[in-house]
């Protein structure tokens, strides 16, 4: 699927991606898991470019989950190193394409040097008006909701009687972030894995058997095209069809 085949007027506003399959990709090639993560980072770079070209406004990449701390210390340390260095190396590209970089997750739980890189990139790109690129790091959907509740209950000016789904969103990591229209998962698994729990209430899902390092912009555009062919009713029904 080529970009030229998409109707850019009806692309999803917010796409979330569960980038699954780096480890299995490396294992199939008898390579260390670090090689899979490096290859996955290269894929992420291409998909970010593709999302920008498709005029998608928000792209959230599930980069490191709250559960990923269970991996070996060596792998976690490498992922932190890769993340920090990538943010620094990619910034000139983000600047050229006016990509605004945001982060979701418990950033305070990350190593101090990674935190510094995150805050530096976020601050330096805060006025950019292109793609809003969100890295979900040390992120879990349930954790985000719990942290939001803690913020809410510590706000002395807020009462439970005033609580709505709309104003609850103001306590989430990125208050302005819209619900995910489309969530894509690579690697063959078909589950949400604690990703965007609040924002996925009416998301469309696309599951790909392709391991993340082999995922291409053409596959990404194919998922967008599939989304464009769906009849999104949000609990209602299409005009002229009230069977549900």
In terms of phi and psi (left: phi > 0; alpha: psi -120 to 50; beta: otherwise), the region of 211 is beta
Question: What is the spatial distance between Cα 97 and Cα 210, in angstroms, rounded to a whole number?
Answer: 28
Residue 132 pairs in a beta bridge with 58, 100
Dist CA 165 CA 240 (whole Å): 30
Catalytic residue among 5, 20, 157, 241: 20
Count of helix runs (H) and strand runs (E) in the chain: 7, 6
**3-state SS string for 107-163:** HHHCCHHHHHHHHHHHHHCCCCCCCEEEEEEEECHHHHHHHHHHHHHHCCCCCHHHC
127 catalytic residue (yes or no): no
Judge whether 173 counts as a catalytic residue: no
> Which of 80-111 are b and which e, b meaning 16 or more Cβ less than 10 Å from the residue's Cβ?
bebbbebbeebbeebeeeebbbbbbbbbeebe
Options 5, 68, 129, 194, the catalytic residue = 68
Q: Is 16 helix (H, G, I), strand (E, B) or coil?
A: strand
What is the distance in angstroms between the CA of the first residue and the CA of the last residue of the chain? 33
The residues annotated with a catalytic role in the active site are: 20, 68
């Amino acid at each position: 699927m080529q970009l030229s085949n998409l109707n850019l007027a009806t692309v999803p506003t917010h796409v979330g991606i569960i980038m699954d399959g780096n480890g299995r990709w490396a294992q199939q090639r008898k390579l260390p898991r670090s090689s899979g993560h490096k290859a996955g980072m290269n894929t992420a770079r291409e998909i970010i470019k593709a999302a920008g070209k498709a005029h998608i406004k928000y792209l959230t990449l599930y980069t490191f989950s709250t559960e990923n701390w269970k991996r070996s210390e060596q792998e976690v340390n490498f992922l932190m190193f890769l993340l920090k260095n990538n943010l620094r190396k990619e910034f000139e590209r983000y600047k050229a394409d006016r990509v605004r970089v945001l982060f979701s997750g418990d950033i305070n739980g990350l190593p101090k040097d990674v935190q510094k890189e995150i805050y530096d990139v976020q601050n330096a790109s805060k006025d950019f008006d292109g793609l809003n690129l969100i890295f979900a790091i040390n992120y879990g959907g349930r954790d985000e909701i719990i942290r939001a509740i803690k913020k809410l209950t510590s706000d002395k000016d807020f009462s439970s009687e005033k609580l709505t789904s709309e104003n609850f969103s103001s306590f989430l990591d990125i208050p302005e972030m819209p619900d995910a229209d489309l969530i894509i998962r690579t690697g063959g698994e078909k589950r949400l894995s604690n990703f965007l729990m609040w924002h996925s209430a009416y998301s469309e899902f696309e599951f790909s058997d392709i391991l993340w390092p082999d995922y291409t912009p053409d596959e990404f555009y194919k998922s967008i095209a599939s989304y464009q062919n769906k009849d999104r009713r949000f609990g209602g029904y299409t005009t002229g069809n009230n069977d549900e």
